Copies of this chain bind each other. A is one copy, B any other.
Amino acid sequence: MSAARSVRTAASAAVGGSNRGRDGAREIPDATIARLPVYHRVLGQLAESGVTTVSSEELAAACGVSSAKLRKDLSHLGSYGTRGVGYDVRFLAYQISRELGLSQPWGVVIVGAGNLGHALVAYRGFASRGFAVVGLLDSHPDVVGRTLGSADSPIVVRPMHELEAVVADGGAHIGVIATPADAAQDVCDRLVAAGVRSILNFAPAVLSVPEGVEVRKVDLAVELQILAFHEQRRNDEPPESAEREIPSFVPESLGEAINA
């Protein structure tokens, strides 16, 4: 309602500040945090394939990063590797999941049951990472009342006015906005008023939230435009074929393990 809230966007503001080592020891850089989920997923795939140990070189290649970056990232969590050997796949996966807070379940409320909302509800890998959809809301009378999701965990679309109740009853921690852009700020305000402090916004709109609330955004149009920019650049300047590139590659063994 009032203007007494600040505008915050994805990368711009984390909770209070990033990593000016405040009190204790570990202040993990944002850039590292953003990569941990990928490391975690790949480690899970390796574990499933029976791989028990990986070197930073191998894991880095499988994750699409440099080994130096991977080691530096992991060093922020602690010393979980063994020199001369590498990392124990399961142990490292566990440490990362703990750091990310995946060991406890997080309730997610999804607002907007259009195509995107459907896609989100259908997303496997939700539950597997400790996220549970505790509510799905939409304002359109035609979809309210419908049941989505798998047979074993059905989700009924609730009317918008139940948002506050759904958040409270479900103990939701994270709100996902999958509405048209013009509804996004209202939905955001209501989520925040209901106590949600972490929001993932798919609507192409800049959201204003009070301090202490984190918003991350996923914007298709933005991604396409970034690609278009580079595409244009490539076409503009065809000169110079000099190469500078880290010719990393996925080792046979791991490649197969992951595609298995």
Of residues 167 through 200 on chain A, the ones whose CB sits less than 8 Å from some CB of chain B are 173-174, 182, 185, 197-200
Contact A174 B231 (CB under 8 A): yes
Copies of this protein in the assembly total 2
Instruction: Pick from B3, B15, B229: contact of A252, CB below 8 A.
Output: B3
* A213-234 CB contacts (< 8 Å) to partner B: 214, 216, 218-234
CA distance A211 to B243 in the complex (A): 9
Q: Majority SS of interface residues in chain A?
A: mixed
Alpha-carbon distance A221/B42, docked complex (angstroms): 13
Q: Which A residues form the contact surface with B (CB < 8 A)?
A: 3-9, 12-17, 22, 33-34, 36-38, 40-42, 61-65, 99-102, 104, 106, 108, 114-116, 118-120, 122-123, 125-126, 129-131, 173-174, 182, 185, 197-200, 204, 206-208, 211-212, 214, 216, 218-234, 240, 243-252, 255, 259
